[in-house]
Structure 1
Amino acid sequence: MKYVIASAFLFFGFAGYSQSNVNEVLAAGLNDAEKFTDNYLAPVSEGAIFSLANGWYNTADSKPLGGFEISIIGNMTSFKGKEDKMTFVLNTADYENLKFQDGSASKVVSTALGDLEGIGVYVEGEVLGLPTRENFDLPTGLASEGINFIPTGFVQVSVGLVKGLEVKARFLPKIDTDDVNLGLYGIGVQQEITKWFPIDKILPVAISAVVGYTHLDATYDFTNSNIVDGSDQRLEVDMNVWNFQAVAATKLKIINFYGGIGYVSGKSVTDVLGTYNVRSGLFQQKPYVDPFSFTKKASGVAATLGTKLKLGFFRLNADYTFAEFNNLTVGVNFGFR
């Protein structure tokens, strides 16, 4: 359980870290801030969608009536080397007020997953007839702290019903601190097709269809800026993820192997909420309340290979998923068939 909670804090902690001066972009005006924040946070949302899609199965052999398994599952979704997710090109021609301090017209900058630091920008204009200019640095991301993965963790329970049907539920108990409020839940079903045919009694192989749905909601308070002050500044994230898989596995007594292929689809809605008062520059003294929201959708094919060790009521599994964001899943499982 400690691992699950630690993973949850880290999962949403990246948003707080990377957001430490995103709100300063509001000094460039609402339109510029919205465009930048959308580009900056979109890869994090996409990676989290692919991360939460994992961990729904560790075999294709559905449990019999009354069989159950309790699992503690951790995911590590890698973005190492994915430059297209760690950076984006900021072209000042697409922005109303934001300019680079070195005079560049466009430049590669960091997303919330990246590691580019010290990229200076400015906003200038006139306030009450007097020239004004505000300089600040664009935010960097997770990789600047040596982190190249997005972790998620949760508890999952599976129960066998009849004719190869198994139901699953996953959850993360609500975490509520001064800065972070986070929780998730999900439900899934697994139907073993080989239970319908005589092959179930002949060959040590099972084939199943798995469908899983996960919902995450989280809030992070990131009130921390020298340029923009205000109150109740926070992110609220609402994420829904579906995973559809065809799974095959061996049915041996101790060590088994499994694999699946299917489709992941998800949607993340991020609201930037609170009151923001720009203290200096072109837009000073102009309050913004609940300034904007953006939506990120992600989908794609995912293929998984894994193995499971069974020692009585204790089981340990690990698998690797190949997708837009590759993922390592490790599960510690306890149950009876």
Structure 2
Amino acid sequence: MFNKFKKITKGLCALSVISLATVGNAQAQLGDAGAILRAGAEDANTLMESYLAPYTKGFGAGLNTGWFNTAKAHPTLGFDISLNVSAAVIPGSDQIFDVSQLALQQLEVVSGGSETPTVAGDKSTNTEVGIFATNPQNGNREEVARFGLPGGSGFPYAPAPMIQASLGIVKDTDISLRYIPEFTAPVVDAGVGLFGVGVKHGINQWLPGGKLLPVDLSVQIGYNKFNANANFNVDPEEGSDIYNPYNASQWDGQGIELETTATTYNAIVGKTVPFVSVYGGIGFETSKTSLKTPGAYPVTSFNPNYNPNSTDPETREKRIESVEGPIDLEIKDNNSMRAFAGLRFSLAVFRISASYTISNYSTFNVGVGFGLR
């Protein structure tokens, strides 16, 4: 029995890693988004938030699903272990953003349209932005450099896989744990880790005549914390008019660090009969993502030492400056009500479940696993 348990658990872990491959397109887009960091700290934060917010919000919504597949809590020592995969649907309005509507300090659209895809939008874009600054030689505001904004992933969903184990304790109460130890997932070239804890409690026992009701009533709370990190590779601009005082090693250590926390509170009603459980309910959810970019990043600026009559590289018209950790964002989802419905099929010890949640970012969830009692 123990060896069988180990094999099933390993299989669920493998499925979890495979499911992470569905975000491979998004991970590739993060590498392209590194160009945004050429804009300097203030404008880069503004652009990066608009570009990435749909995925961070959708991912938080996905983490808030899949906590339960029945309204009834496990009996004492009853348990199940499952792999759940959620996919939040990114609304069309959040698949694009208008650069001209952002409070940018140095950036202006110089080519293409001002509307460009977010990370969840179309893969192609023709939007280029220019970095403008005051030229110390003449006092005029001029373009220093330009870069193209990244396209989207072409995948308007935010997937969120998780492995979960639930155990019944006492008084119609069960606890759930989600855990993926921090590891490097080669399919997405990123380090990931997940921890979550949830509690569900049956309330029929506390209601007058509650045990006679034809349905099960329960309340549930769940909390998740997800960490991820990936590498960036933003090289300095090159050109005969640009002075770069830094060695290539200056740009080592570039990366992105992401932490998402998500919390949900739910009231559930449902019924379990042989082989099938159905449930529905309402709840409240919230999520928050912090985003940082450690390392040094190159920014092109006008050179105050510019001398057109000199051959000294240090007197070229432009120069590369180094900016440390330009991105430091906190992206919050709007706290929102949610309504959900789902069902679970059981065959011996095996379980298959599915649910749908209506919220700011509506979410599908499917789960496979096994359990006893």
SS in 2 for 1:285: strand
| Contact 2:169 2:175 (8 Å CA) reproduced | yes
Q: Please, which moves more after superposition, 292-301 or 173-182?
A: 173-182
Equivalent residue, structure 1, for 2:198: 188
> What is the CA-CA distance between 1:40 and the residue it aligns to?
1.4
Letter in 1 for 2:95: M
Question: Which of 93, 96, 105 is 1:87 aligned to?
Answer: 96
CA distance in 1, matches of 2:211, 2:199: 23
Q: 1:120 to 1:142 in 2, by over 3 A?
A: same
CA distance in 2, matches of 1:9, 1:149: 13
Q: Deviations over 1:180-236 (max 9, x none)?
A: 110101001000111445856544420100100011011111215564972211111
Letter in 1 for 2:169: L
> What is the CA-CA distance between 1:280 and the residue it aligns to?
7.6
What is the root-mean-square deviation in Å for CA atoms of aligned residues?
2.6
Equivalent residue, structure 1, for 2:131: 123
Equivalent residue, structure 1, for 2:183: 175
CA distance in 2, matches of 1:96, 1:296: 20
Whose strand fraction is larger, Structure 1's or Structure 2's?
Answer: 1
CA distance in 2, matches of 1:235, 1:26: 11
Equivalent residue, structure 2, for 1:207: 217
Q: Please, which moves more after superposition, 216-225 or 228-237?
A: 228-237
SS in 1 for 2:332: strand
Q: Deviations over 1:45-102 (max 9, x none)?
A: 11111011010010011111111111111111111xx232111221278322222224
| Contact 2:145 2:300 (8 Å CA) reproduced | no
Letter in 2 for 1:233: Q
> What is the CA-CA distance between 1:28 and the residue it aligns to?
3.2
| Contact 2:69 2:342 (8 Å CA) reproduced | yes
| Contact 1:249 1:259 (8 Å CA) reproduced | yes
Equivalent residue, structure 1, for 2:328: 293
Letter in 2 for 1:18: Q
| Contact 1:163 1:196 (8 Å CA) reproduced | no
Q: 1:308 to 1:199 in 2, by over 3 A?
A: farther
| Contact 2:236 2:320 (8 Å CA) reproduced | no
SS in 2 for 1:286: strand
Residues 241-320 of structure 1: matches in 2 within 5 Å? 241-278=262-299, 284-298=319-333, 299-320=335-356
CA distance in 2, matches of 1:177, 1:3: 12
Q: 1:84 to 1:246 in 2, by over 3 A?
A: same
Residues 17-32 of structure 1: matches in 2 within 5 Å? 17-32=28-43
Equivalent residue, structure 1, for 2:357: 321
1:8 pairs with 2:20: yes
Equivalent residue, structure 1, for 2:228: 218
Q: 1:287 to 1:316 in 2, by over 3 A?
A: same
CA distance in 2, matches of 1:204, 1:321: 24
> What is the CA-CA distance between 1:260 and the residue it aligns to?
2.0
| Contact 2:236 2:298 (8 Å CA) reproduced | no
CA distance in 2, matches of 1:305, 1:103: 44
Equivalent residue, structure 2, for 1:236: 257
What 5-or-longer segments of structure 1 have no aligned partner?
Answer: none
Letter in 2 for 1:285: I
| Higher-Rg member (1/2) | 2
| Contact 1:153 1:172 (8 Å CA) reproduced | no
Structure 2 length as normaliser, TM-score? 0.80
Equivalent residue, structure 1, for 2:312: none
CA distance in 1, matches of 2:103, 2:228: 31
Q: Please, which moves more after superposition, 67-76 or 122-131?
A: 122-131
Q: Deviations over 1:258-291 (max 9, x none)?
A: 1121000111111121111236878741101112
CA distance in 2, matches of 1:123, 1:288: 15
What 5-or-longer segments of structure 2 have no aligned partner?
Answer: 1-11, 239-247, 304-317
SS in 1 for 2:53: helix
CA distance in 1, matches of 2:370, 2:37: 50
Letter in 2 for 1:173: P
Equivalent residue, structure 1, for 2:159: 151
Q: Deviations over 1:118-170 (max 9, x none)?
A: 21222355778497642321111122xxx221111111111111111111111
> What is the CA-CA distance between 1:249 and the residue it aligns to?
0.9
> What is the CA-CA distance between 1:38 and the residue it aligns to?
1.8
Equivalent residue, structure 2, for 1:76: 87
Letter in 1 for 2:355: D
Structure 1 length as normaliser, TM-score? 0.88
1:111 pairs with 2:118: yes
Q: 1:46 to 1:26 in 2, by over 3 A?
A: same
CA distance in 2, matches of 1:215, 1:132: 42
Q: 1:254 to 1:16 in 2, by over 3 A?
A: closer
Q: 1:16 to 1:127 in 2, by over 3 A?
A: farther
Q: 1:263 to 1:312 in 2, by over 3 A?
A: same
| Contact 1:30 1:291 (8 Å CA) reproduced | yes
Number of equivalences: 329
